[in-house]
Structure formats: structure tokens, C-alpha cells
Structure 1
């Protein structure tokens, strides 16, 4: 079949428009250069450790360096904004958390991004539960005994946190709502001083991540009442879950996930999700997570996106009901 020169010129003019109008499709050779993995926290914390564990594995399977870039500040807003405003090419990714994608957007009116609309949810990574801790000065040894005591002395007991609007503060608010008790909130500048105050007997209660809780529970410096997970932790197998203690509404955790900017090409998203899923199945990787008190969180990209949206709505309701204002 013969085509005229005029018809061929018309096809050549049309082809760029077809490419522009079509869906975002990435080069199958992705990645062809180093990938930046933004962590919205300082070095040394759980999110940073998890990012470096994941980055080391991704280096090998992607064939390109994965460079961890710590961008702390404004809660988690600075690092999250960096990724939200980056090109959707798969070369700038984020370790997001319950704080960056659920709590802080509800706490900060001008956070600068929408946790659902401005990101592509790639894969969940892990979840770390909290432990409800009590001072050894309190005459209690269970969650129910705490509730009974708080009802007899409304507003007299207190709990410490890493600051107003932090995850352990919000956990305390959920406890008060679910148990219909009233506690005084004592905010500190970070979890370490808040935990020190509990160990020293200056405060009565605190929710803290299981990994930092273990040595203090084992030494008898504090008393563990319940863990906010669906199953008991191998790090503290003697501590009952909140469901076992009769308070399933207290099931909550610090979760971590893998995100890209909005409109990330589907094939890039799926490639990253597939490789991350394989990494999370490696026994050695799972063992390292367990030593952090974490467990694998497995979902498809679509399921993870729905999970993030539900977490955003859940924490927005908690924050609105409690009239919490971030520090």
C-alpha cells in the first residue's frame, strides 16, 4: 500500500500529540540513574533504619544506588513536601509514616500537601505497636485496674508524650475516649525525656514503641499493661494485647510505607512494589524487623492507598474530637 508524502508528514506531526495524550509510561529500563529515598526524620530513628535496610536491598535488585536523604523538620512536612513536589519519574521516593500521612495533615492546616492526592502509594513496609506503660508507683498491674483507678480519681492520673499531637499523645486520647476516663496530658520535647519521667516516677503513664520499651520493662523500671497490636510481641510475650485486655479500640501502631509523587507511571509503581514485596519476604530481613519490634505490613498498591486514606480519616476524627493543637 502506497501513502502520499503529504499523508506521511501528517502522521509525523500527529505522533507527538498521541504520546502526550496517552497515560504515563516509563522507560522499561528504569532505573538508569541513582534513586533518592527521602526520610522525613533525623538519622538513627526507626524510619531511618528501615530506609537503609530497604535501600541496601534495592541497590542490588534495581542495579542503581539508592541514596537515603534525611530531611527532618516541621514534624515530617519538609521531607514529605520534597517528594510531593518532585517529578513523577521514580527517582525521588519517600519513606512515609502514620505521622506524615495521617496525623500531621490533620494537625497542620498549612502542611503543604495532601497525603492521598499528592502521592502515589507504592507499598506498605512495616508496623510497630506501642506498649501502654505505668509507673511502678501506681497500685495497678493491668489495663482494667488502670481504668478502674482512673474512674475513681478523674483527672488525677497523667500521661507523658513526646509533645502535643505526637503519636503517643494521640494514643492517650484514644484511651480516654474508649475507656471513658479523664487523664492529664504532660507533653515533653521528645519520647526520651517523656520515658525518663515515667521511669523516674514523675508521671504515671505513657505509650511508647515496643523496641524502646523492652529494656525498661525487663529491668522492672516500668510496668507494661498492654500492647496495642493484634498479636503479642515476641519481644514482650508476657504482655497481653489490648484486645485480650478488653479494649480492642486501642489497637494502633506506627506504620511505615513506600511512596512516590502523584502520577508515578504505573509500570514504575508496580516494579517497585514487586521488588519491595520480594524483599519483605526474605527471612533475614524479617528477622531484622522483629529485632526492631516491627512486623511486615503486606498489601497491594491499591489496598495500601485505601489504607492510607482510612488512616487519614481516622486520625482526623481523633484530633478533631480531642481539640489537639500541634506544638
Structure 2
């Protein structure tokens, strides 16, 4: 795809940039604390507790809060592919106290699959800071009877011939676990029946109960179950294997290049938010992402830091729109 080089350059830049903010530690802590020390900040997360968005946001928010003395409250507002949370933030004052933990669906994919939205993600929000991203992991239920991607393809194609396509769970309609799953399965040569859930955690729970066949899930909500043997990991949708599960190949290794996909999360704010508040939060978040212990916590759950300026974070989101909106339209994916 035409923007592969740009996305690869950003990916390398984000991973290295996390190490470059330590010098601003004292400045970041003092600046954020001065924002409104008596009133807690709000980070509104568009998915239920326990999923990738929630875990990543809490790791970073806890460190930022401790370093600055500024309390940060995590609010989980699931539903409508992240749009309930987005609208919650847009109804709040643009005073630098409320931030949206934006992700693929509410900031990118929904624009392509919903006939009508109550906000324009490209115009109504401004970028603040990246938090983290988590590569997707192709997993199956244990009793499906496959142990590798080749076996899954054969099983899925046979099921399709019989008129009973495999079921694919997702964190919600329009979520990256939905769109990337449709895209990757199409590339692998089979169709699926999509089954949306209200978050990754319930989708994985349903899979472990034998109710869903496969899922292209973000690592934080599936990696531990895969390691423990409760579900079967088949491939990582990234350009390299993930350190915590080094035996699991990438889809690119298996002959399906260009299928890389991650669930990503970062802060945006309502248009009109004071630039000073954006700058303070960006500095505080990047200082947190530069800490080895924060990086280690993210890696342990299956995530990687996204350290970037507000401008770079905005460029990343734009690149994702340029990649995924055409995919959604080509595959004719609509909200369910």
C-alpha cells in the first residue's frame, strides 16, 4: 500500500522516541500538577474494563498521576463502537480536564461503516499524545481442531463449502478486531460470519466457552489465555514476532504480507482545548512512556508504547485513515 513506508517510519520512530523524554521529568510533573491540582482529570475509555484500551490507559494514567500529583480518573464508556465515549467527551467543556482515549474505531473506521455519525473525528478532536498499540493475534477455540494457520485455512474453506462459515468474534462492529479480521481472512482465502461483542474480554470468554470459532484479537486481552493454553494462537498480525510468544509466527511469514494490524490508543481532546493543556499532557505522557518500568508493564500485557509529539500523533491517525477507510469500503463492511 502506498503509505507503508510512512507507517513503517512512524512505527520505528515511536518505539525509539519513548526513550527520549527523560530530561523533561521534573518539568512535566510540575506543569501537569499546575493544571488544576484539586480537580481530577478524566480519561474516557471507549471500551469496558479488562480490554486492551482499559489496560493501556490505566498503566499510563497511574504513572502520570503519581509523577504529577494530579489525579486521573478512568471512565469506561463502552458501546456503539466507541461513539458513546467520544460523544461524552465532546459534551464536556473544552477546558483541558477531559480527554478521550481514542482508538481505531471511533477515530478512523466508523467514518467508513456508519451511514451517520454525530461527530466528525477529523474535525471535532485534536491530537494530544499516543499511549500504546497492541498487535492483533489470530486465535481459535481449542476444540476447533487446528494447530496452525494452514490447518485453519483448510478447515475454514471446507466449512464455507458446506455453507456454514466459521464464526469470528470481535470487540465490536467496526472495531479493528472486526475490520482487520475481515481483511486478513479474505487475504487467507475464506469468509467468516461476524459475531460482535461489547469488548474483547466477553468475546474471548465466549470463545473459551466454545461459542466462537476464531478471533483476530488485540494481544492484551488474549495473550495470557493463549500462553496458558485456553485458546490456540496461530499468527501475529505484525511485521515481527512478539517477544512474549516467540513461537507464534507472523502472518507475513506464512505468506500473507500486508496484513499487519494493531489496536492502538492515544489521547485526543475536544476541538478548542487550550494548547497549553495539550502541551502539558503530551509532555507528561511522553515522560511516563520513557520510563523502563512503564515500558515493561506495557510489554508484559502485549503492548508497545507510542511516544510522539501531538503533531506526530495526528499524522499517525491520518495515516491509519488513509489505510483502513478504503479497506472498509472495498470489503463493503457496514455497521451491524
Aligned mate of 1:242, from 214, 232, 251:
251
Aligned to 1:89, what secondary structure does the other structure show?
A: coil
Describe the shift of the 1:145–1:43 C-alpha distance in structure 2 as closer, same or farther (beyond 3 A).
closer
Aligned to 1:161, what secondary structure does the other structure show?
A: strand
- In structure 2, the residue matched to 1:14 is none
- In structure 1, the residue matched to 2:36 is 32
- Structure 1 residue 312 corresponds to structure 2 residue 321: yes
- In structure 1, the residue matched to 2:290 is 281
Aligned to 1:117, what secondary structure does the other structure show?
A: helix
- Structure 1 residue 92 corresponds to structure 2 residue 98: yes
Aligned to 2:136, what secondary structure does the other structure show?
A: strand
- Structure 1 residue 70 corresponds to structure 2 residue 79: no
Describe the shift of the 1:89–1:259 C-alpha distance in structure 2 as closer, same or farther (beyond 3 A).
same
Residue 127 (structure 1) shift? 0.7
Residue 140 (structure 1) shift? 4.4
- Kept in 1, the 8 Å contact 2:43–2:100? The answer is yes
Gaps of 5+ in 2: 1-30
Higher mean Cα deviation, 292-301 or 120-129?
Answer: 292-301
Higher mean Cα deviation, 188-197 or 76-85?
Answer: 188-197
- Kept in 2, the 8 Å contact 1:31–1:62? The answer is no
Output the CA distance in 1 between the equivalents of 2:146 and 2:332.
29
- In structure 2, the residue matched to 1:6 is none
TM-score normalised according to structure 1 size: 0.79
Aligned mate of 1:45, from 51, 54, 58:
51
Output the CA distance in 2 between the equivalents of 1:184 and 1:157.
6
Output the CA distance in 1 between the equivalents of 2:192 and 2:280.
47
Gaps of 5+ in 1: 1-26
Describe the shift of the 1:146–1:43 C-alpha distance in structure 2 as closer, same or farther (beyond 3 A).
closer
- Structure 1 residue 296 corresponds to structure 2 residue 305: yes
- In structure 2, the residue matched to 1:260 is 269
Output the CA distance in 2 between the equivalents of 1:186 and 1:252.
19
Aligned to 1:76, what secondary structure does the other structure show?
A: helix
- In structure 1, the residue matched to 2:215 is 206
- 1:1-327 residue pairs with structure 2 within 5 A? 30-33=34-37, 34=39, 35-137=41-143, 140-147=146-153, 150-151=156-157, 154-155=160-161, 156-162=164-170, 163-187=172-196, 191-192=200-201, 194-196=203-205, 198-199=207-208, 201=210, 203-327=212-336
Taking only aligned residues, the RMSD between alpha carbons, in angstroms, comes to: 2.9
Pick 1 or 2: higher relative contact order, CA cutoff 8 A, min separation 6.
2
Describe the shift of the 1:28–1:138 C-alpha distance in structure 2 as closer, same or farther (beyond 3 A).
closer
Residue 326 (structure 1) shift? 2.2
Aligned to 1:249, what secondary structure does the other structure show?
A: coil
Give the number of the structure whose residues are more often helix, by fraction.
2
TM-score normalised according to structure 2 size: 0.77
Output the CA distance in 2 between the equivalents of 1:264 and 1:149.
51
Residue 245 (structure 1) shift? 1.9
Output the CA distance in 2 between the equivalents of 1:196 and 1:283.
32
Output the CA distance in 1 between the equivalents of 2:225 and 2:62.
31
Output the CA distance in 1 between the equivalents of 2:237 and 2:299.
16
Higher mean Cα deviation, 248-257 or 59-68?
Answer: 59-68
Describe the shift of the 1:90–1:175 C-alpha distance in structure 2 as closer, same or farther (beyond 3 A).
same
Higher mean Cα deviation, 145-154 or 37-46?
Answer: 145-154
